[in-house]
């Protein structure tokens, strides 16, 4: 076992065990509300077999809490844990389901190759990033209408992927836990001490999340032949390769590869959830928060509005739904401290709605600005006959091309898997580019939702930066791009992102610890704070920044 994995296990305390037990009991009983209290306080539908669950009427929760956290993703999980440790009576609200009860097939989540209702949030058909396999419609499938784990919000010229469920984006991302460059962090967060971040908060977040690296034995296995080919073809072009650490337990994956453990990360379990080795938030931060005894979690509950009174108390309008999407309860609850961690889109939408409808009229005009897609760009190349990439591939990247020092085309290009189950001779890349373009959200009163404004030409810098890298690889290897994977028979996709950032920028819409300007005790604690681009996969930065902000918030409140 690696030292990094040992540090992860050191955090598995009695408190975490108690929280995991509460989550397990709640899921088995079909509860939407979880705490260390007596099971049955919020009886819901039976989730053991999706698409047979019946509508439910949830039991009441308290009418007032000292603090409420909206969202259970990375920022929200940090906020709930640190509030609970401080003894603050806290309610955490999550609009998705609690995902840890097996369905009739014995699995909690479904595979990418055989999606069902568990795959996507109230869709009748999946909407995966890849549109086709060599021009054939082999990717997306018709599915049951159900509150599945992945959502895709489609705006003009840009779609945003989001996790829906207890654990948020940790349930559906590729788990790449990369620390950003220090010079970039200093540029985008000038009011944040980078010494604090790199000496304390990045290590703290990494330990809690279980960040570790793949061994040489795993890299040499057949499941990472696609990585070795990607490295070899990039090195022929003179590029520098870097390891990509992750939150998948790579010791477990090595046992998968050796036939010593059930296959999960090696069996197409990624974007629709993972059943075994991935260290999602419901295995670390969230059970630790519940284990404090001061945090209550309620799932399947959406916040639709926020208002405040003259005393500074916040009131939240709630809708609780069942697995059919039917609203089973509407009510209002209150709190003294409110932490918004509903994600870039959700948090921004809540604040825009409150500003434009007059329930929080003192919100400034910076709300909704500074959005970016982290420079995301996906592309595919074809390889020569001897550079076959493997029919069986891990779903979790472990290597990337570091071209960030290129002054004209700065990019971090990860070698992504293409786990089709058959040989493709194709290399897939997920690039994070230093795209300076920014979009913004506005509130559409008629639709009662936030609309993202992003023009097609704003993705052009990402195209140019990524193809500058891949053109060199093609020239060095005498290869070409591979078409037939993306819409329109293109070799690339620049119209979706897994890394939405911005909308409530730190130091502009908020103060330097996430306090929303114009109001006391109202905080943003998620990726909305980051200005559009962090140069790497952002969840580790979101977690570390949340740790930093919560430390200063709680220190200031004592």
499 noted as active-site residue: yes
Q: Which helix (H) or strand (E) holds 366?
A: none
Query: Residue 383: is it exposed, middle or buried by C-beta count within 10 angstroms (0-12/13-18/19+)?
Result: buried
User: Residue 269's Cα: distance from chain center in Å?
Assistant: 15
Where in 30-113 does DSSP place strands (E)?
Answer: 33-34, 64-70, 90-93
HSE-up (13 A, CA, CB side) for residue 322? 18
Specify whether the CB–CB gap between 415 and 405 falls below 8 A.
no
Query: Which residue is catalytic, options 499, 547, 551, 552?
Result: 499
Where in 263-398 does DSSP place strands (E)?
Answer: 295-298, 301-308, 314-321, 327-340, 369-372, 376-382
Distance (Å, whole) CA 306 – CA 338: 10
Distance (Å, whole) CA 331 – CA 509: 29
11 noted as active-site residue: no
Number of helices and strands in the chain (H, E): 13, 21
Measuring CA to CA, how many Å separate 472 from each of 234, 237, 366? 8, 6, 40
Distance (Å, whole) CA 453 – CA 157: 8
Query: Which residue is catalytic, options 256, 414, 437, 547?
Result: 414
Q: Reduced to 3 states, what is the DSSP secondary structure of residue 411? A: strand
Pair type for strands 492-493 and 376-382: antiparallel
- Catalytic positions are 414, 499
């Amino acid at each position: 076992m690696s030292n990094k994995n040992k540090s992860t296990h050191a955090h598995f305390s009695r408190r975490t065990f108690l929280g995991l037990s509460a989550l397990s009991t709640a899921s088995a009983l079909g509860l939407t509300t979880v705490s260390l209290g007596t099971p049955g306080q919020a009886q819901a539908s039976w989730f053991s077999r999706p698409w047979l669950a019946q509508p439910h009427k949830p039991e009441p929760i308290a009418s007032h809490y000292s603090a409420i956290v909206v969202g259970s993703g990375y920022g929200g999980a940090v906020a709930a844990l640190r509030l609970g440790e401080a003894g603050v009576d806290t309610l955490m609200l999550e609009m998705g389901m609690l995902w840890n009860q097996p369905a009739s097939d014995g699995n909690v989540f479904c595979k990418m190759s055989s999606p069902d209702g568990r795959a996507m949030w109230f869709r009748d058909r999946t909407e995966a990033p890849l549109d086709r396999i060599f021009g054939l419609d082999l990717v997306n499938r018709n599915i049951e209408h159900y509150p599945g784990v992945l959502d895709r919000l489609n705006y003009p010229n840009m779609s945003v992927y989001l996790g829906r469920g207890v654990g948020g984006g940790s349930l559906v991302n590729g788990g790449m836990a990369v620390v950003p460059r220090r010079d970039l962090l200093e540029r985008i967060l000038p009011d944040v001490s980078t010494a604090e971040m790199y000496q304390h908060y990045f290590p703290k977040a990494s330990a809690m999340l279980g960040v570790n690296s793949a061994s040489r034995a795993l890299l040499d296995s057949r499941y990472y032949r696609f990585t070795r080919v990607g490295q070899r073809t990039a090195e022929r072009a003179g590029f520098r390769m870097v390891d990509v650490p992750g939150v998948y337990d790579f010791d477990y994956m090595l046992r998968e590869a050796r036939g010593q453990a059930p296959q999960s990360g090696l069996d197409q379990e990624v974007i629709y959830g993972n059943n075994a080795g991935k260290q999602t938030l419901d295995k670390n931060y969230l059970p630790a928060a519940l284990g404090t005894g001061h945090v209550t979690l309620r799932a399947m509950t959406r916040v639709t509005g926020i208002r405040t009174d003259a005393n500074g108390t916040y009131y939240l309008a709630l809708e609780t739904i069942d697995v059919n999407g039917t609203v089973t309860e509407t009510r209002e609850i209150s709190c003294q401290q409110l932490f918004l961690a509903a994600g870039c889109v959700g948090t921004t939408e809540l604040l825009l709605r409150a500003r434009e409808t007059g329930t929080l009229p003192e919100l400034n005009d910076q709300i909704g600005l500074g959005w970016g897609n982290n420079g995301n760009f996906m592309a595919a190349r074809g390889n020569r006959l001897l550079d076959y990439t493997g029919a069986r591939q891990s779903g979790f990247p472990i290597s990337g091309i570091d071209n960030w020092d290129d002054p004209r085309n700065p990019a971090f290009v990860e070698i992504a898997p293409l786990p089709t189950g058959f040989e493709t001779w194709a290399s897939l890349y997920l690039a994070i580019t230093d795209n300076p373009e920014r979009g913004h959200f506005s509130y559409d009163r008629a639709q009662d939702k936030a609309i993202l404004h992003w023009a097609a030409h704003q993705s052009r810098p990402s195209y140019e930066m990524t193809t500058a890298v891949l053109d060199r690889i093609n020239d060095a290897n005498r290869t070409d791009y591979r078409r037939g994977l993306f819409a329109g028979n293109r070799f690339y996709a620049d119209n979706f992102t897994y890394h939405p950032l911005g909308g409530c920028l730190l130091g502009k819409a908020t103060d330097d610890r996430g306090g929303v300007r114009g109001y006391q005790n109202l905080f943003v604690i998620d990726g909305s704070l980051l200005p559009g681009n962090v140069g790497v996969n952002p969840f580790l930065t979101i977690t570390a920044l949340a740790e930093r902000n919560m430390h200063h918030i709680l220190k200031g409140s004592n």
